[in-house]
């Protein structure tokens, strides 16, 4: 009863526009498993109140695959690990336009161009700009990008090209980061987020859970996201890729996954909170429960190096639980 009352009080604070204190957020993040249902339900009510019934559905295009210079231990596209994943360089604008057109027809609201590199070279950046211009001219779908580190001029150019949102993930807690990557730092990632925001781009950021971090570190990441207050949070659940150092990592219990989504909703009531990579693999219900526990976005039709549910199947799942695709 006492815990239920505490969760309700936190919810009332959110509804009245008062943020939670650090201590309250910490207590919420550590409520006993037996109260998780109450936490999830209150997070769902916050989602519906601030965001309605709509689920943000996005499709990705991995425009540059594999052979990345960075050593992120979870990533099947790092050149440091032998993962057997095919490699390809940037496709022609025409090829991407066709895929973006298909995504639009399948009901996706946004189309995100993702590249497996540390940062775009000047030449590749120009190619990506051409791709974006053609999508704008021929398709008319909201374009987002995830192109690694940016410099100011590049961020400004993306803004001029009407790119709505820039994705760049923190990946994990600051205290865990050096264990999962040594070729760049947490500050490097924060810096690109600042450059993107200063250029007027909306932000999408988040990370991966299930890397072997502690609950306290998931809380640390949550608080960093709350500080940044991005328009969109993206949470991946680790897909252990054979050949990477995390290939044998054990799966996170479902309760820990629900816990982080629900608390992020309390802290970021207005943001899109997206269930990203690992949704189909780690969640038996493909995300039904999370979409009723704080999340209000999904990526459909596959990810960067692996397939996923078809758009139609995801749309049916969303409608089945009374939400709008």
User: Site residues (CB under 6 A) for ligand SF4?
Assistant: 68, 70, 72, 75, 77-78, 116, 118, 148
CA distance 197 to 231: 11
Report DSSP letters for 236-269, one per residue.
EE----TTSTTTTPPPPPHHHHHHHHHHHHHH-T
Nearer to ligand SF4, 70 or 280 (CB): 70
Closer residue to ligand SAM, CB minimum distance, 44 or 66: 66
Nearest approach in angstroms of CB 237 to ligand SF4 is: 15
Q: How far is the CB of 114 from ligand SF4 (least distance, A)?
A: 8
3-state secondary structure 180-222: HCCCCCHHHHHHHHHHHHHCCCEEEEEEEECCCCCHHHHHHHH
Size of the site for ligand SAM (CB under 6 A): 20
User: Of 65, 156, 167, which Cα lies nearest the Cα of 112?
Assistant: 167
Per DSSP, the residues of 40-80 read HHHHHHHHHHHHTTB-EEEEEEEEEBS-BS---TT-TTBTT
The site partner of 245 among ligand SAM, ligand SF4, none (C-beta below 5 to 8 Å per kind) is none
The smaller minimum CB distance to ligand SAM, of residues 20 and 238, is found at 238
Residue 130 CB: number of other CB atoms within 10 A? 14
Nearest distance, CB of residue 195 and ligand SF4, angstroms: 16
| Contact in structure between 74 and 180 (CB atoms under 8 Å) | yes
**Residue placing its CB nearer to ligand SF4 in the complex, 29 or 303:** 303
Among 93, 120, 269, 277, binds ligand SAM (CB under 6 A): 277
How many residues are there in the chain?
325
Q: Report the residue number, 116 or 318, with the smaller CB distance to ligand SF4.
A: 116
Gap between the terminal Cα atoms of the chain = 36
**Closer to ligand SAM at the Cβ: 188 or 288?**
188
Query: Strands 297-299 and 56-64: what pairing?
Result: parallel
Give which of ligand SAM, ligand SF4, none residue 277 binds (C-beta under 5 to 8 Å, depending on kind): ligand SAM
Minimum Å gap between C-beta 147 and ligand SF4 is 10
When binding is defined by CB under 6 A, the residue of 135, 180, 239, 252 that contacts ligand SAM is 239
With CB under 5 to 8 Å by kind, the binding choice for 217 among ligand SF4, ligand SAM, none is none
Query: What is the C-alpha to C-alpha distance for residues 316 and 325, in angstroms, rounded to an integer?
Result: 8
Contacts of 27 (CB under 8 A, 6+ apart): 6
Q: How crowded is residue 94: how many other Cβ atoms within 10 Å of its Cβ? A: 10
Q: How far apart are CA 190 and CA 168, in angstroms?
A: 9
The residue from 28, 173, 241, 275 that contacts ligand SAM (CB under 6 A) is 241
Q: Which does 78 bind (CB under 5 to 8 A by kind): ligand SF4, ligand SAM, none?
A: ligand SF4
Contacting ligand SAM within 140-169 (CB under 6 A): 146, 148, 168-169
Q: Which stretch binds ligand SAM (CB under 6 A): 82-90, 238-246, 249-257, 258-266?
A: 238-246
CB of residue 189 to ligand SAM, shortest distance in Å = 8
Kindly indicate which of the ranges 15-23, 105-113, 220-228, 236-244 contains the residues binding ligand SAM, using the contact rule CB under 6 A: 236-244
Q: Which residues bind ligand SAM (CB under 6 A)?
A: 74-77, 114, 116-117, 146, 148, 168-169, 171, 208, 236, 238-239, 241, 277-278, 304
């Amino acid at each position: 009863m006492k815990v239920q009352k505490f969760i309700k009080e936190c919810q009332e604070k959110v509804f009245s526009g008062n943020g939670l204190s650090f201590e309250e957020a910490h207590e919420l993040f550590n409520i006993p498993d037996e109260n998780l249902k109450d936490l999830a339900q209150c997070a769902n009510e916050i989602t519906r109140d601030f965001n309605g019934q709509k689920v943000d559905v996005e499709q990705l295009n991995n425009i540059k695959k594999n052979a990345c210079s960075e050593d992120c231990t979870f990533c099947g596209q790092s050149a440091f690990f032998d993962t057997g994943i095919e490699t390809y360089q940037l496709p022609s604008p025409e090829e991407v336009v066709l895929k973006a057109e298909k995504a639009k027809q399948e009901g996706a609201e946004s189309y995100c161009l993702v590249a497996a590199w540390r940062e775009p070279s000047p030449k590749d950046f120009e190619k990506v700009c051409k791709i974006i211009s053609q999508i704008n001219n021929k398709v008319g779908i909201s374009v987002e990008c995830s192109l690694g580190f940016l410099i100011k001029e590049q961020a400004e150019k993306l803004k001029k090209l009407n790119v709505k949102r820039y994705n760049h993930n923190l990946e994990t807690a600051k205290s865990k980061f050096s264990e999962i990557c040594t070729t760049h730092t947490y500050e490097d990632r924060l810096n690109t987020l600042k450059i993107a925001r200063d250029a007027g781009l909306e932000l999408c950021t988040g990370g991966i859970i299930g890397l072997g971090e502690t609950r306290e570190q998931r809380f640390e990441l949550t608080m960093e996201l709350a500080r940044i207050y991005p328009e969109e949070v993206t949470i991946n659940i680790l897909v252990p890729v054979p050949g990477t150092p995390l290939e044998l990592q054990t799966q996170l219990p479902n309760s820990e996954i629900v816990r982080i989504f629900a608390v992020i909703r309390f802290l970021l009531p207005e943001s899109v909170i997206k269930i990203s990579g690992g949704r189909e693999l780690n969640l038996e219900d493909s995300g039904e429960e999370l979409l009723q526990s704080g999340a209000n976005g999904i990526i459909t039709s596959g990810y960067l190096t692996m397939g996923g549910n078809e758009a139609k199947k995801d749309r049916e799942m969303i409608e089945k639980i009374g939400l709008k695709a």
